[in-house]
Structure 1
């Protein structure tokens, strides 16, 4: 119940006992009819942490009304829908577990597509239990140590799911922790330009430190620290801020592994990456299987026999293929994109092979994603994007075209100082057309080689070579 946490904060974070007592003022309706019995502080705590849901909305109503009243008294700046009791009733109904014989009416897909999973998707985020458990151990250990050993690094290739793991897995697990109360602040640098970094640092310094809880500062997308366009003064400010933050908080940074080799510029980062880092690997087939079936099952939707195997075979390919391990960083994102496109095609309460065929399979999903990002590029960016994509294809006479892995340092030299090319690369990565790992950049899936626009480019190249020959 993330939104309940937002309303709770807007109401001034009253103590659970105060809230339980104050809620009783709302128990009697204006006509004297009893609305619900007393609600304990423990029950409110369970609702707020998402451990349980109110069995009856009438039981939850007194607490909701008190939080709404508190928010209005404080004149807190908050979303207007948080004060709408009717909206809360709809949220409560949607969150109820499916009961036998109840018709499925929820139409929202549990799969976020190319976007990362968020706290709103926490209930359907599956397949990463081991990573969540191991990260929790690292964070609890850091909470008991002295600075600077309170910085933890989550390292993983672009597209492997670092943001999803943090937002939909780790944060909800910390909020439900039975051993420590965590006060969490998240700063995302994924879409922040180097120009805006100073403002972000200044805002992040205002940490909400409470003596009764452990403060956690999460900085997602920390690789911006190494951006060549970042001013050295801003980078130095980030170093000093990171060091100072460890005095009052545990700090979790996420970054791609390709930047770990130049962390010597910051001794704190070098020590963190050597001794307190967690490498997030690509999901294994059994984990991807859970990511297919569990979110659908939680919505009361089943997977037709054969569809699961069809999806896995299309996403991961053959584990015996020599390049299998090199190309799987974006598997979760590609799977989520496909399941999101497949969801509206379900037949009653089933996702079917026929529906998968109607969307053109993973090939159709990837081609539409590539077309969308191409259409979004400016006319000046498109030549850069075309050259970049073509550089990731290996063409040999008498053989099928294959994906080519380009070394990051080679690509970085090509893109240095070329704003249009850098922007195009970022947009292609965000759309999951291209993947960047520790050392290489490549097309995210073999099926991108059949993208009609790319096929036309390659045919044009072959024609030019034939004429020149």
Structure 2
């Protein structure tokens, strides 16, 4: 069917024709006798004629347009909306369902299942159309019915967080969403009971909780404890609210076996009893999926094209995304409102279209951009262990390294997204964009990517193994018990020498390896110190001179124009501060040689520095200048930043717990960081962005928070306030904690506790 606006334009065109010319059009179309009204206006007759043209027995819109053009009349152009989805799925929204054909029977079966029961597992091969029939079929019907609240999630690396986000109202403003997320995460942390409360407080008659791409709970979530808790929360919540909650899972068929490896709180039994397979579409269903969307928009397929598509699909199991991508390319190259068979052959058929397009996009990049694109696609692929390789959603920040700078990653991601090879999703609250391949079909059929994966599979496994261990070390508070030892440490140390350019380790992983090496050195020192001490006495003077020369060189590099050299110099100067503080019993001479230096950075000029992901724990940066510095993910726990000038710097995800920030100038900084126990006495925080900052037990006495951005009262509940200048949206007493702090609220003098 054509759009309503195009229909009105056609009726207007036909109504305005001279009567003789209108009769010519009707005669040429040759509608059945009696199908047009008599003795009525030409406009009503035109509308009736158009109804017949669009009917299954009618001539079709292309025939009408051709007749009008033969008479020298220009018909209105057909709708510009492409009814095909490329590598995306048909979504649950106001337009996609209009062009979703071929799955009516399966949709009805799924509806019947959901109406009769409260659990459904939709299972199909990659490329079978699971997400489309779930979203544009089943969920669209439930949405149209109007008595259900639909909550959708994909598990990702942290499925419990994803589950909490599924209950957030995306139409609310940013602060409300952040507050909703905090409350939802707190409830989900309580397991099944928390999910029960979220469901029972819904105003809808029924809550339909949908977990699409359920296999991510196995492929992306590496924390077995969190995975188990996720499953138990879902199934426990379902049991507690069986009359109100309906749980729907959609997953790839090659991951069903994972559900049966353990009990997982009853998951295996539930999937086994409520499984519905998404089988390949029949020839009739495929024909509908090919032809009907085009007909809806007034465009036809050249004779023979449908048959060619169907023949190629027989050789391509799981080829629905390839079919949609090919039809999208044909749509963009249509000629005279018709999709052409000759163009289809030029594109290379169903399997060749995507390969050809991916190659064209890759070849259009510069050599540096090609290396970056290769790095991106490898990062977006989860290696299969006993199964096919799958997609791997990552943050765009994680793709950035010294080898692949942020500006180049950003421009290449944009070009790949514009070509519909990857998709991006900007996470508003977290200010972090995620990147994903548009569909796993690209991983399966693009020869260049398959070659990259085959050549680098072992190295990728080693890289991911080290980075996963580093993430676990970070999650466990950087405890020494989670550092590498023995053979894993040897392999991690050797990894950068095997392929340092192609597969760089993250900043956290490099710090993890260096810290593991230092811990190994400590262990060796403890067992053989009686041999090391005499040796140290012999070479001490010479070694001291060499070491001090290196330190002078590091201080000189602080003024280097190279950001990477400056960053390395900072890391070298303070690498041992944290461990030296923990191991005070070791004499300074030995601790500096075991753990690294801990030299002063008092008054250091580090404006515009890139210190992303560095470990500056316990460093002395008092009076330092760090304006416009990149301090994302930096560890500044227990650091001394008193009197520092840190104007407009980015602290996203930084750790400033127990840091001394007294009299620090932080105006216009982005301080989404951990400030637990931080001393912010007399700190300047005007216009600072404190979104999601942890201020528990932080000392904010005499601090200036006027015009602070995204600061909520919940963040200040456990902070210490005295003579604090607060923004207008905070109603707390600025002298609330003066008595506990032993400070006179009038004079600011210390009156003792």
1:106 aligns with 2:68: no
C-alpha distance in structure 2 between counterparts of 1:169 and 1:277, whole Å: 17
> How many angstroms does 1:355 deviate by?
3.0
- Residue of structure 1 in register with 2:277 after alignment: 279
* Pairing partner for 1:328 from 311, 317, 321: 317
* Pairing partner for 1:237 from 229, 250, 256: 229
C-alpha distance in structure 2 between counterparts of 1:140 and 1:453, whole Å: 43
- Whether the 8 Å CA contact 1:219–1:253 is kept in 2: the answer is yes
Q: 1:334 and 1:376, CA in 2 relative to 1: closer, same or farther beyond 3 A? A: farther
CA RMSD of aligned residues (A): 4.1
- Residue of structure 1 in register with 2:148 after alignment: 183
Q: 1:249 and 1:267, CA in 2 relative to 1: closer, same or farther beyond 3 A? A: same
C-alpha distance in structure 1 between counterparts of 2:450 and 2:212, whole Å: 34
TM-score by length of 1: 0.55
C-alpha distance in structure 2 between counterparts of 1:174 and 1:382, whole Å: 36
* Pairing partner for 2:100 from 125, 149, 174: 125
C-alpha distance in structure 1 between counterparts of 2:292 and 2:152, whole Å: 29
1:252 aligns with 2:248: yes
C-alpha distance in structure 1 between counterparts of 2:220 and 2:336, whole Å: 52
1:200 aligns with 2:170: no
Structure with greater contact order relative to length (CA < 8 Å, sep ≥ 6): 1
- Whether the 8 Å CA contact 2:143–2:150 is kept in 1: the answer is no
C-alpha distance in structure 1 between counterparts of 2:107 and 2:122, whole Å: 11
- Whether the 8 Å CA contact 2:156–2:217 is kept in 1: the answer is no
> How many angstroms does 1:282 deviate by?
2.1
Q: 1:108 and 1:278, CA in 2 relative to 1: closer, same or farther beyond 3 A? A: same
Unaligned runs of 5+ in 2: 9-49, 55-60, 66-74, 168-194, 364-369, 393-397, 400-420, 423-434, 456-753
> How many angstroms does 1:155 deviate by?
0.9
C-alpha distance in structure 2 between counterparts of 1:155 and 1:340, whole Å: 26
SS at match of 1:167: helix
C-alpha distance in structure 1 between counterparts of 2:387 and 2:123, whole Å: 22
Q: 1:230 and 1:427, CA in 2 relative to 1: closer, same or farther beyond 3 A? A: same
- Residue of structure 1 in register with 2:128 after alignment: 160
> How many angstroms does 1:251 deviate by?
0.8
SS at match of 2:136: helix
- Whether the 8 Å CA contact 1:182–1:214 is kept in 2: the answer is yes
> How many angstroms does 1:377 deviate by?
5.6
* Pairing partner for 2:109 from 134, 139, 149: 134
- Residue of structure 2 in register with 1:345 after alignment: 333
- Residue of structure 2 in register with 1:354 after alignment: 342
- Residue of structure 2 in register with 1:173 after alignment: 141
CA displacement 1:94-117 (0-9 Å, x = unmatched): xx9978766333222100101111
- Whether the 8 Å CA contact 1:373–1:427 is kept in 2: the answer is no
Greater radius of gyration (CA): 2
C-alpha distance in structure 1 between counterparts of 2:312 and 2:112, whole Å: 35
SS at match of 1:409: coil
SS at match of 2:215: helix
Q: 1:376 and 1:279, CA in 2 relative to 1: closer, same or farther beyond 3 A? A: farther
Q: 1:217 and 1:229, CA in 2 relative to 1: closer, same or farther beyond 3 A? A: closer
Q: Where do residues 2-81 of structure 1 align in structure 2 (5 Å cutoff)?
A: none
> How many angstroms does 1:132 deviate by?
0.5
C-alpha distance in structure 2 between counterparts of 1:200 and 1:346, whole Å: 41
1:409 aligns with 2:409: no
C-alpha distance in structure 2 between counterparts of 1:359 and 1:135, whole Å: 36
Count of matched residue pairs: 304
C-alpha distance in structure 1 between counterparts of 2:160 and 2:346, whole Å: 48
TM-score by length of 2: 0.36
> How many angstroms does 1:363 deviate by?
5.0
Q: 1:377 and 1:249, CA in 2 relative to 1: closer, same or farther beyond 3 A? A: farther
1:432 aligns with 2:441: yes
C-alpha distance in structure 1 between counterparts of 2:210 and 2:143, whole Å: 14
- Whether the 8 Å CA contact 1:209–1:215 is kept in 2: the answer is no
> How many angstroms does 1:239 deviate by?
2.4
- Whether the 8 Å CA contact 1:162–1:254 is kept in 2: the answer is yes
1:116 aligns with 2:89: yes
Q: 1:315 and 1:428, CA in 2 relative to 1: closer, same or farther beyond 3 A? A: farther
Q: 1:183 and 1:360, CA in 2 relative to 1: closer, same or farther beyond 3 A? A: same
| Structure with the higher fraction of residues in helix conformation | 1
Unaligned runs of 5+ in 1: 1-51, 57-95, 143-149, 318-326, 389-406, 435-442, 459-469
Q: 1:114 and 1:233, CA in 2 relative to 1: closer, same or farther beyond 3 A? A: same
- Residue of structure 2 in register with 1:16 after alignment: none
> How many angstroms does 1:219 deviate by?
1.2
SS at match of 2:209: strand
Moved more, 204-213 or 335-344: 204-213
Q: 1:303 and 1:118, CA in 2 relative to 1: closer, same or farther beyond 3 A? A: same
> How many angstroms does 1:298 deviate by?
0.7
- Residue of structure 2 in register with 1:219 after alignment: 211
